[in-house]
Structure 1
């Protein structure tokens, strides 16, 4: 799987960057994204920058419009973030490829006591490619593994946090006959995902943060 292309769109007088993965053939995806979330076929992925003041109540429709404007059709995954996606960090580990846009302007602890949190779109977005077919259970496990590695990196950076209110993950793999059943952090492919995600978040923290 090739990395994303960087393009731009104009919205409300602003020139906003967008990362676009145009996949040569459909793959299997699991995602927590607002557009294309769940498990299913995927032909493209976009990760677009929006202002930190973003408050639209129709982000899925917004992303669908961005995708259509880029000539994308069919099933895909759309992500949004308040960071400049041109600062994407790419890592890899023995066949695994991973891209992260890292915004830690609104760090939180997932199980913090109830409190009012303004969900600005700082966001750590992760898109990962695994070159083997993962079973449904392994896909779920892969998302958990990436999330654990992200939280580890955030703690290693000195933050008393596990992520932001709007983090999203997308894991892609090919449609092949033989399935890998495991993607936990000590499995072959899960360990590679974990290392790639950990390194991406550590590296991304040095990039410019949310505007």
Structure 2
């Protein structure tokens, strides 16, 4: 899965099996998931609008789309092991009625496979976590009239999850990420936290289990590879690439094996980082060839 923001639209690209409650939703194999910002006074037909947007970006038919009035620099991205959660949230204030103009869009991606019923159960898990987060923030409604959810897994991954409740590996991670991410997304949309770019959170076990917001500015570890390195892709969009020229499989602290690439400098090279910015779907082999020519 690759994701990037372009023209105030979040794009997820890959080979997905997905379930969507959004525009023209359902369950399908898709290559693209969109979350698109529209004006507050938007009155176009949503399906047609998304169709034209997708076509402008070379995407036809096999996509799921969501729409929001929230600007994409308020987006919160949360990574918890093999689960990545994308949240945009707009709720005016705790006393606003649920019928007022709000939208909470949540996209879930799992690198591990799920059967269709587990995709659907993940929507239930997301909805429960969203309701709990809103309650904890003082809202007296569990959601709004225009909320939407997309749940996607890698289409070619073994379907290891048949359930996705909060006691499952996938459901527990989704629940925790939504509980953490929704308040953060609302705080950014309401101006309580100022960010000029989407925010990225990682669930870390280093020094005890906790969430960390990674920020490129004022990083205490800079430079962790070499002076002048670029840090736009500190959390690599190619992970886990399984390219043994760049990393290796290592034993994790909680059992199993994880991809270790702490010594990889590929996307820290300024020219390659710039190329990736311009070409967010560039293949790993393409990036390696570029490095050879530098």
Q: Which residue pairs with 1:85 in the alignment?
A: 72
> Cα–Cα, structure 1 residues 76 and 207, in superposed 2: closer, same or farther, change >3 Å?
same
Which whole-Å CA distance do the structure 2 matches of 1:41 and 1:76 have between them? 8
Aligned to 1:174: 154
Q: How does 1:6-85 map to 2 (within 5 A)?
A: 6-8=5-7, 17-23=8-14, 26-35=15-24, 37-56=25-44, 58-85=45-72
From 102, 106, 123, the equivalent of 1:126 is 106
**What is the rounded CA distance, in whole Å, between the counterparts of 1:204 and 1:95 in structure 2?**
21
Within 5 Å, give how 1:158-197 maps onto structure 2: 158-175=138-155, 176-197=157-178
CA distance in 2, matches of 1:71, 1:131: 24
Give the CA deviation at 1:6: 1.6
> Structure 2 regions of 5+ residues with no counterpart?
192-294
Larger radius of gyration: 2
Residue 183 of structure 2 corresponds to residue 202 of structure 1: yes
Instruction: Name the counterpart of 1:136.
Output: 116
TM-score (norm 2): 0.60
Across the aligned residues of Structure 1 and Structure 2, the Cα RMSD in angstroms comes to 1.8
Q: Looking at both structures, which has the greater relative contact order when contacts are Cα pairs under 8 Å and sequence separation is at least 6?
A: 1
TM-score, normalising length: structure 1: 0.83
Structure 2 equivalent of residue 14 of structure 1: none
In 1: Cα distance, 2:38 partner to 2:23 partner: 14
In the alignment of these two chains, the number of paired residues is 188
Q: Is the 8 A contact 1:43 1:74 kept in 2?
A: no
Residues 112 and 158 of structure 2 are in contact (CA less than 8 Å); yes or no, is this contact kept in structure 1?
A: no
Deviation at 1:200, TM superposition (A): 1.0
Residue number in structure 2 paired with 1:13:
none
In structure 2, C-alpha distance between the alignment counterparts of 1:98 and 1:143, rounded to whole Å: 12
* Deviation, structure 1 residue 108: 5.1
Question: Relative to structure 2, which stretch is displaced further, 131-140 or 38-47?
Answer: 131-140
Given that residues 91 and 98 in structure 1 are in contact (C-alpha distance below 8 angstroms), is that contact kept between their aligned partners in structure 2? Answer: yes
Q: 1:104·1:163 contact (CA, 8 Å) conserved in 2?
A: no
Alignment partners' CA distance in 2, 1:125 and 1:49: 11
Counterpart of 2:134? Answer: 154
Residues 88-122 of structure 1: per-residue CA shift (max 9 Å, x gap): 0011222111110011138656xxxxxxx45x3x3
